[in-house]
């Protein structure tokens, strides 16, 4: 593998994310939630429900809009995209993101940063693909070679071009809004019981309320985790397409070797070997429902199928 020099000559068919389609489904979903409440509680919906739903649905979007500024402060990220790279590997990150942005037809180059952590990590954030930021840890730069770094960066850029930050936020908003719908309906039923002064029914209904609320939170986590795993497979696949399958595979194999202790991390990195590009923890089948990333074994196997 020749690294960045080889990537420059590769022809890439950039994926097209249909924002109109996303907006249409978002609107239809919001109307469906509104209609569901109206069926159960009628005109009372105009008293308080829209505000609650707006808060539930809108809060994830506010967090998304603030995400870039928040992580810059939280991780003490040093920006390197404007001629501020200090090392050869930092310049490799800048050159790779710049090249991938051109090949993926992004209108604006993502902000590029490095942060001081021994964690083997990279992530993308930002409200849209044209207001994104990609950051890598110093630990990743210390412990990966050129092709492995390119594979990781291609994975993160795949999240950017696929609009994964936005679609994840929409999903989170819908899950929150749907939970509010159920809570409102149960609250109306509880109010009716109180008016009838049926203490036993009120206690039973209150118990049902908390049971359903916890179930909705539980179910919402399962949905969000399932989508996150699906998203990771998609980012791996696109990264392999825009570079080479061997690039993505080499990065995943490297992460697997580090997580299994088969190679030595530089300095004191072993203590901090928690990978945000992957969560390679050993879990049972039930716990896997809440995993945000597929296992490294499954991800490597998926890339190997692309190589055949």
Residue 116, Cβ neighbours under 10 Å: how many?
Answer: 12
Q: Known catalytic residues? A: 156
Encoded tokens for 193 = 């019981």
User: Could you give phi then psi for residue 7, rounded to 5 degrees?
Assistant: -65, -30
Distance CA 152, CA 248 (A): 7
Distance CA 304, CA 100 (A): 23
Distance CA 13, CA 247 (A): 18
Distance CA 210, CA 199 (A): 17
């Amino acid at each position: 593998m020749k690294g960045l020099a080889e990537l420059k000559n590769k022809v890439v068919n950039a994926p097209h994310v249909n924002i109109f389609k996303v907006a249409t489904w978002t609107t239809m979903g919001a109307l469906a939630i509104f209609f569901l409440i109206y069926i159960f509680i009628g005109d009372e919906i105009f008293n308080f429900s829209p505000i609650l739903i707006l808060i539930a649905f809108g809060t994830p979007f506010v967090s998304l809009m603030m995400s870039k500024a928040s992580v810059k402060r939280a991780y003490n990220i040093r920006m390197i995209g404007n001629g501020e790279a200090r090392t050869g590997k930092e310049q490799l990150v800048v050159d790779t993101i710049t090249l991938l942005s051109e090949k993926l037809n992004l209108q604006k180059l993502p902000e590029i940063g490095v942060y001081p952590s021994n964690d083997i990590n990279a992530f993308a954030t930002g409200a849209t693909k044209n207001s994104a930021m990609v950051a890598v840890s110093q630990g990743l730069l210390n412990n990966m070679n050129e092709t492995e770094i390119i594979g990781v960066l291609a994975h993160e850029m795949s999240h950017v071009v696929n609009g994964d930050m936005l679609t994840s936020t929409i999903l989170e908003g819908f899950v929150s809004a749907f939970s509010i719908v159920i809570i409102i309906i149960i609250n109306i039923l509880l109010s009716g019981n109180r008016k009838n002064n049926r203490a036993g029914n009120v206690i039973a209904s209150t118990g049902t309320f908390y049971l359903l609320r916890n179930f909705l939170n539980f179910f919402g986590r399962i949905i969000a985790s399932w989508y996150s795993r699906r998203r990771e497979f998609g980012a791996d696949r696109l990264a392999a397409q825009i570079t080479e399958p061997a690039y993505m595979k080499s990065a995943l194999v490297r992460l697997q070797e580090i997580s299994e202790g088969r190679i030595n991390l530089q300095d004191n990195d072993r203590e901090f070997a928690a990978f945000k590009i992957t969560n390679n923890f050993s879990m049972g089948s039930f716990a896997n429902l809440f995993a945000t990333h597929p296992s490294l074994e499954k991800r490597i196997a998926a890339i190997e199928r692309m190589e055949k």
